[in-house]
Amino acid sequence: MSPTNTFTILVIFCCAISFAFASDPDTLQDLCVALPSSGVKVNGFACKAEANVTEADFFFAGLAKPGATNNTLGSVVTAANVDKIPGLNTLGVSFSRIDYKAGGLNPPHTHPRATEIVFVLDGQLDVGFITTSNKLISKSIKKGEIFVFPKGLVHYQKNNGDKPASVLSAFNSQLPGTFSIAAALFTSTPTVPDGVLAQAFQIDTKQVDNIKAKLAPKKS
């Protein structure tokens, strides 16, 4: 076999491996219903005994109605992931519903383990994501339209209309994870040093403290 052919085969093989690991690993059995109480630490959850599996492990009614948007951001995400549907364990998919009041914002965030695709149920949204070359890709989308947010990239949705809006979101991970940029930087535990944030954002430490106070979780 010539060196050129060998190199070509190697490239194809590497690409195939890369594609295979682009999302959650494929399941090796019919089902593996999550059993968080097992205490076993694996990449996912240990499996419930198949004899104990029921239809309830594959069902969730939590997306049927709009969520409450009476918060400072005016939006709420209702997740339908493996934490809510144990039967999703190892299947590599999950779902969410996002509701926005007029003017509501789902603030800049990332999903480290999944690409997201949203379908607009009602209303109109301004959406966008930022590439690693710092380019903003944005668009206004309305009822019946779809937009995709690539895995790991910072993105947002904003309802600039005067009526409520809602979307359904699908992910290629049973637990995509959400990393909210502002909350992560200003409300982490332990906290990011004020000097780091002040220098990064070119503001003074008093302004950092003000932002931390505004973003701090509300005490019940």
Is 210 annotated to bind a ligand? Reply is no
111, amino acid identity:
H
Is 155 annotated to bind a ligand? Reply is yes
Contact 67, 99 (CB under 8 A): yes
Tokens representing 86?
Answer: 């144990």
Phi-psi region of 32 (alpha: psi -120 to 50; beta: other; left: phi over 0): beta
DSSP lists the bridge partners of residue 160 as none
Is 109 annotated to bind a ligand? Reply is yes
Angle ∠(202,204,207) on CA atoms, nearest 5: 105
Other Cβ atoms less than 10 A from the Cβ of 68: the count is 10
- Binding-site members for oxalate are 106, 111, 116
Which segments are annotated as binding site? Answer: 106, 109, 111, 116, 155
Residue set of the binding site for Mn(2+) = 109, 111, 116, 155
